[in-house]
Structure 1
Amino acid sequence: MKKKLPKPTEAELALLSVLWQRGPSTVREVHDALPDSATGYTTTLKILQKMFDKGLVARDESQRSHVYSAAIAAEQTQRQLLRDFVRRVFAGSPARLVMQALSDEAASAEDLAAIRELLDDLETKGHKDSQK
């Protein structure tokens, strides 16, 4: 059975976003990269320490300033959060999510083409799987 990944809080997601964009960074670098941070440096440090304890980040302690890096890829975290969101808000139905999203926001031609390509790929894969 797959180990369940820790679910990051909003504040933790903000720090993870910095680490995903910048790569390994010190607390100061993460703090300085936060957009309009209302939190202080020590709050950023404390959150990163908690994230380390939860397994959301790794920490390199070989230098005076510890360097933090995301322990989980952005895509993996996005999939986990999206699965949870679809389960809680859309009764587990990805179709309901997509229909709601597309009915509320105008999709660009590029977005629609990418969605069609994904659907075609899923349909082809599903068709092959059902023939096995």
Structure 2
Amino acid sequence: MSTPSMTELALLKALWRHQPLSARELHEHVEEELGWTYSSTRKTLERMLEKRMVTQRVRHGVQVYEAVLEKVDTLAAFARDFGKRVMEIDTPLPVMMFTGSKLVDEQELDQLEQLLQHWPEDVDGADGAP
């Protein structure tokens, strides 16, 4: 999985909530948070298309975007990375750190707990975190 940057994550979060969105609509959702121009949103979307984080299609004559990266998988990877790199925690993270999140519902919280408790290890012994 390609790890999104913080700005790419902002676009993904908007898509997870409202997809499909045109570039203009997406920009309107993140403009205040990111404080950047429409051309910056377009450029970021182009990079995200190249990385296969989003797809693009025509809907009612307008190019729209949808997230390819799964929300729960992406959030679990970020949480795991934070736990290991920032907090130096090698044990599974408690899912209660996500309680009250506006980004995940109860079902997604259960999925997140499963991912965090049973994080896949790759063959070399390095984890799958970003």
TM-score, normalized by the shorter chain, greater than 0.5: yes
Q: TM-score band (shorter)? A: 0.5 to 0.7
Instruction: Using the aligned pairs only, state the percent identity.
Output: 29
CA-to-partner distance for each residue in 1:9-59, whole Å, 9 max, x for gaps? Answer: 011011001100101110011011125142111110110110010011111
Q: Give the Cα separation in 2 of the matches to 1:41 and 1:91.
A: 38
Cα deviation, residue 63, structure 1: 5.8
Unaligned runs of 5+ in 1: 102-106, 109-113, 123-132
Residue aligning to 1:17: 13
Q: So what's the TM-score if we normalise by structure 1?
A: 0.63
Indicate the structure with greater helix content.
Answer: 1
Conservation of the 8 A alpha-carbon contact between 2:31 and 2:37: no
**Deviating 4+ runs (over 2 angstroms):** 61-65, 89-95
Residue aligning to 2:27: 31
Q: Give the Cα separation in 1 of the matches to 2:59 and 2:10.
A: 25
- Residues paired across the two proteins, number: 100
Residue aligning to 2:50: 53
Conservation of the 8 A alpha-carbon contact between 2:21 and 2:66: yes
The partner residue of 1:8 within 1, 4, 11 is 4
What is the aligned-residue RMSD (CA, Å)? 2.9
Larger relative contact order (Cα-Cα within 8 Å, sequence gap ≥ 6): 2
Unaligned runs of 5+ in 2: 101-105, 115-130
One-letter amino acid of the structure 1 residue matched with residue 36 of structure 2:
T
